[in-house]
Structure 1
Amino acid sequence: MTPFFGSAFWLLVTLGVLVTFHEFGHYWVARRCGVKVLRFSIGFGGAIWKRVGRDGTEYQIAAIPLGGYVKMLDAREGEVDPALRDQEFTGKSVWKRIAIVAAGPGFNLIFTVAAFWLMFMLGRPDVAPVVTAAPQSIAAEAGIRAGDRILSIDGRTVSTYTDAMDVVVNALLGRAPLPLTVRGNDGRTRQMVLPLDQLPAGQPVDQYLKKLGLDLAPSPAIAATVLAGKPAALAGMQGGDRIMAVNGQPVADYPAFQKLVPAEAAKSPQLKLAIERNGKPMLLTVDARRESLEGQPVNWIIGVNGPRPELVTLRYSPVKAFGASLQATWRNTAQTFNLIGKMVSGQASTNNLSGVIGIAAVANQSAHMGLSWFLNFLALMSLSLAILNLLPIPVLDGGHLLYYLVELIKGSPVSEQTMIVGQYIGLALLFTLMGLAFYNDIHRMLLS
C-alpha cells in the first residue's frame, strides 16, 4: 500500500472508531434519558449505507467521513407528534440535556483510558533514552554528551526515549529552564539544566527541537552481523569488528558509515575499510555490489548490519496498566490545555496545529509500528477530540454546555436569536481553525 492510500485508509479507520464511540455516547445517554433518537450517522452528507433499527432509529454511514451526528426528536426543528412529546429533547430537564451533550466527550475520555490500558498490557516497544547532542546546540552547551542515558527530567523518571521527548516537547512550550539527570558512559550520574529560556517566543516546536539539538544517540560503527556470501564476508570481515574509516575517511558512527559506503562506492566499487578487531587495527579491501537487500531500493551494499538500539518495552499487569493509563490520560490532558493556553496567549505558535493531512500521516506511521503504537495514537486522538468538543465554541458540545450553564443561572433557556448568532460565530471559528491547520499541513509538506 502506497503512503498516500495507507494514510487515507488509517485516517478512515481512526475517524470511524473515534466518531462512532463519540456519537454512541450521545445516543446511549439520550436513550437512557428517554429521548427518541431519529438518526445515528457516521459522517455527513448523503448516505452510502443505512438501515432502520427495531427502535425506529435510522442508522447510516454518510459520504463525508469527517465527523458524525445524532439527530434527536427536537421541537425546534418542527412539529412533534403529541404522542411523542415526552420523548422530545428540549422538554427534558436541563440536567438531562447536559448529560446527553457531555456524553460524547465523556465517552471519548473512557475510550482514551481503555486504549492506554490495553496498550500498557500488550506492551509498547520503544528504545532506551540514550541521547547525544548536535554540535553548538543548547543541549551540547548544557553538557549533554554522546551516549548519555536520561534518568529523569524535571523530577519525572523516564525509561523510554518517547517518554523523555514528550516531557521535553511540553517543556519547550513554556521555555523555562529544564533540569535533567543523566548517566554517562563512565557510569557516573550528572545533574544539568537545559536553558530553554534562551529560545525565542512564538516559534513552532519543530524549530525549538532543532535549536535544542537533543537526539537519539546513533549506533556505534560496529559490524553487528556480517551476511554470508556478501562482499564484507568475502573480504574477511567478522561480526563485532569496529569500522574506523572508509577510503581514509573517519567513521564516527554507524549512520555515518551507511552514508559513506554508497558515496565512495559510486566513485569506485573497491573500498578500503580500516577496522579494529580485538584492539588490533586491520585493513580490508571490499568490493561493493549494487543490490537490493530485504526489499530495499537497489544501492551499493557490502552486506553488513549495524547494532540495534537498546530496546525497552513498557508492559504492566492489568492493575498497574490501569493506573498508568489514568496517569497518561491526566498528563496528556494537562499538556493539551497547556498548549491551548499558550497559543491563545501568543506564547506558543499556532503552527503547532495539525489538520487532517498531518493526522493521516501519523495514523499511517503508528499503524505500521504495531498495534500498541496505534492504540497509543488512538488514545491521544480520542483525548484531543474530547477536549476540542468541550471548548466553549457554539456548534461544538462545549458551546451547548455553555448555553445550558447560562440557562441554569438565569432560569430560562437562551433565546433562539442568541443561539443563531452563536452558531454563525462558532462556524466561523471552527472553519478558521480548520483552515489554519490545513495550511500548516501543506506548509510542512512543502518544506519536507
Structure 2
Amino acid sequence: METAIAFIIIFGSIVFFHELGHFIFAKKAGIMVREFAIGMGPKIFAMTKGETLYTLRLLPIGGYVRMAGEEMDSVELQPGFRLGIRVNDANEIDQIVLNQNKQFPDMLFLEVEKSDLMKEMFIEGYDEEERLVRYKVARNAKINENGKETFIAPYDRQFGSKTVGQRSMAIFAGPLFNFILAFFIFLLLGLFQGVPTYEPVITTVVADSPAAQAGMKDGDLVTAINGNSISTWDEFSEEVKVSPNENMNFTIDRNGETLELSMTPNEVVVGKETVGQIGVQYISPLEKSPLKAIPYGAEQTYETTKRIFTLLGTLITGNFSIDDLSGPVGIYKATEEVAQYGVFNLMYWAALLSINLGIMNLLPLPALDGGRLLFFLFEAIRGKPIDKQKEGMVHFVGIMLLMVLMVVVTWNDIQRFFF
C-alpha cells in the first residue's frame, strides 16, 4: 500500500508538472485549453473551471493538455441546419443548441443560411417567421450538443493561429517543467538532507586492507598525500587510483591530532584498467546550508541530465537493448525498492524520473514533444507549415509504434518481476 501511494504521488507530480508547463505557456499565448488531464482512459474525476475541463483518468500512463485547434474540434453549421440559439443583452448569441431537446427561456430557432464561428463570428439564417436575420456570436459562446457543453474557440484562441515561437514554447514548456521540478527536488534535498561537502573523510576501513594494516580508522580526514594537500575525495581517490604498488604517505587529521600513515595500494583490475586501492569506503559528509542548496540543485540536475544522455548514447550505439528498458510496471517495482531506504531516496528517484521524462519527450520522434518541435523547425525554415494531414499521419504512426513499444516493455517487466 505504501508503495502504491508513493508511486501515485511521484508519478502524479511528474505528469502534473509536465502538463502544467504546457498549460501555462498555452494560456500565456492566448490559446484556449479545453482539457487538462492526468492519466489516460476513462474519467474517474472531472471538474470544469472557466473554459477548461480538469480530469483525473484511470490509467497511470501519462496525461495531456488538449488545446483548441489541435484536433478537429471546430463546428461547421451547414446551410439548412436547424438549431436553437439564446441571445444576450448585447444581442449576441451566447448559446447554440444543436439538439433541440434542450430548451432555454427565450430560446430562438434558426434555419442556417451561412455562418462563421471562427473568424467573423456570425450566424445568418431564417427565423420562425421566415425572415432572414443575422446575429453576431459572442466570443465566449457555448455550443450544447447532446447535453455536452463546449466553448466556441475563435481563430485567435486556437493553437494554429499562434506564431511558430509561441507554439514551440507551449510544447517545449512541458519537458522544461520536468527539469524545473527536478531542480526543486534537489534543492529540497540540499535544504533538508544536506549538501555533500566531498571532504576526504574515511567512512569505512575494510578489514585486512592496506589502510587497515597501516592503522587508518573510520572518520579519519585525509589532508595530504606524499606532502601534496588534499581537499576533496576526488583528489584523494585519483592519487590512490594511479599509484598501484607504490608506497604512499598519508597525512591524517584524527580528532584534531595530526598523524602520518604509510601504505601501498593493492593492484586491482577494474574493467580494462589497472588501478590502486587501499580498501576504504566513502559516503560524503553532508552540510545543511541554504546558500549551497541552490547551486547543488542546479549541479545535480545538470549531472543527472548528462548521465541520462550518456545512457541514451549506449542505446543508439547498440550497447543497450530493449530488455533494459522499463515501463510503468518496472518503475513501480523500482519505486518499491527505493521506498525501503526512506523519503530522501524517494525524492532523488522522483527527480531522476522527472529528468528522464523531460529528456524522453524531447527526442525528435513522432507523437512526442520533440517530434512536434521538429515540425515547427521545418515550418520556420520553409516559411509555411507542413500539411496538417501529413503531419497528423506521421504522429498517428508514431503513437501506434509507441503503444507497441509500451506493450513490449510492459510484458518484459511482467515476465522479469512475476515469472
Shorter-chain TM-score bucket reads 0.5 to 0.7
TM-score of the two chains, using structure 1 as the length reference: 0.59
Match of 2:131 in 1: none
1:105 to 169, 175, 184: 175
How big is each residue's C-alpha offset from its partner over 1:232-256, in whole Å with a ceiling of 9 and x where there is no partner?
Answer: xxxxxxxxxxxxxxxxxxxxxxxxx
Residue 102 of structure 1 and its aligned partner are, at CA, apart by: 0.4
Residue 389 of structure 1 and its aligned partner are, at CA, apart by: 0.6
Match of 1:380 in 2: 352
Give the 3-state SS of the residue equivalent to 1:77 in structure 2: coil
1:435–1:315 CA distance, 2 compared to 1 (3 A) = farther
**2: distance between equivalents of 1:322 and 1:420?**
42
Say whether the 8 Å CA contact 2:327–2:413 is kept in structure 1.
yes
Match of 2:12 in 1: 16
Match of 2:189 in 1: 119
**2: distance between equivalents of 1:426 and 1:156?**
51
2:47 to 51, 74, 77: 51
1:86 to 156, 163, 170: 156
How big is each residue's C-alpha offset from its partner over 1:242-276, in whole Å with a ceiling of 9 and x where there is no partner?
Answer: xxxxxxxxxxxxxxxxxxxxxxxxxxxxxxxxxxx
**2: distance between equivalents of 1:72 and 1:128?**
56
**2: distance between equivalents of 1:131 and 1:431?**
50
- Tell me the amino acid that sits aligned with residue 418 of structure 1: K
- Tell me the amino acid that sits aligned with residue 404 of structure 1: F
Residue 93 of structure 1 and its aligned partner are, at CA, apart by: 0.4
Residue 43 of structure 1 and its aligned partner are, at CA, apart by: 1.1
Match of 1:369 in 2: 341
**1: distance between equivalents of 2:4 and 2:266?**
45
Structure 1: state its 5+ residue gaps.
Answer: 134-139, 165-177, 199-213, 219-309
Match of 1:334 in 2: 306
Residue 6 of structure 1 and its aligned partner are, at CA, apart by: 3.3
**2: distance between equivalents of 1:435 and 1:217?**
45
How big is each residue's C-alpha offset from its partner over 1:63-90, in whole Å with a ceiling of 9 and x where there is no partner?
Answer: 1122111111116413263342211111
- Tell me the amino acid that sits aligned with residue 10 of structure 2: T
- Tell me the amino acid that sits aligned with residue 169 of structure 2: A
TM-score of the two chains, using structure 2 as the length reference: 0.63
Match of 1:65 in 2: 60
**2: distance between equivalents of 1:352 and 1:403?**
30
**1: distance between equivalents of 2:212 and 2:417?**
33
Say whether the 8 Å CA contact 1:123–1:313 is kept in structure 2.
no
Match of 1:28 in 2: 24
How big is each residue's C-alpha offset from its partner over 1:264-307, in whole Å with a ceiling of 9 and x where there is no partner?
Answer: xxxxxxxxxxxxxxxxxxxxxxxxxxxxxxxxxxxxxxxxxxxx
Work out which of the two has the higher radius of gyration on C-alpha atoms and give 1 or 2: 2
Match of 2:389 in 1: 417
**1: distance between equivalents of 2:63 and 2:185?**
21
Residue 120 of structure 1 and its aligned partner are, at CA, apart by: 1.3
**1: distance between equivalents of 2:391 and 2:354?**
28
Say whether the 8 Å CA contact 1:125–1:312 is kept in structure 2.
no
1:95 to 161, 165, 172: 165
Give the 3-state SS of the residue equivalent to 1:382 in structure 2: helix
Residue 156 of structure 1 and its aligned partner are, at CA, apart by: 12
Percent identity for Structure 1 against Structure 2: 31
Count of aligned pairs: 309
1:124–1:431 CA distance, 2 compared to 1 (3 A) = farther
1:363–1:436 CA distance, 2 compared to 1 (3 A) = same
**2: distance between equivalents of 1:436 and 1:101?**
27
What aligned pairs does 1:139-288 form with structure 2 within 5 A after superposition? 188=263, 190=265, 194-197=269-272
Say whether the 8 Å CA contact 2:36–2:65 is kept in structure 1.
yes
1:77 aligns with 2:72: yes
More helix by share: 1
Residue 125 of structure 1 and its aligned partner are, at CA, apart by: 10
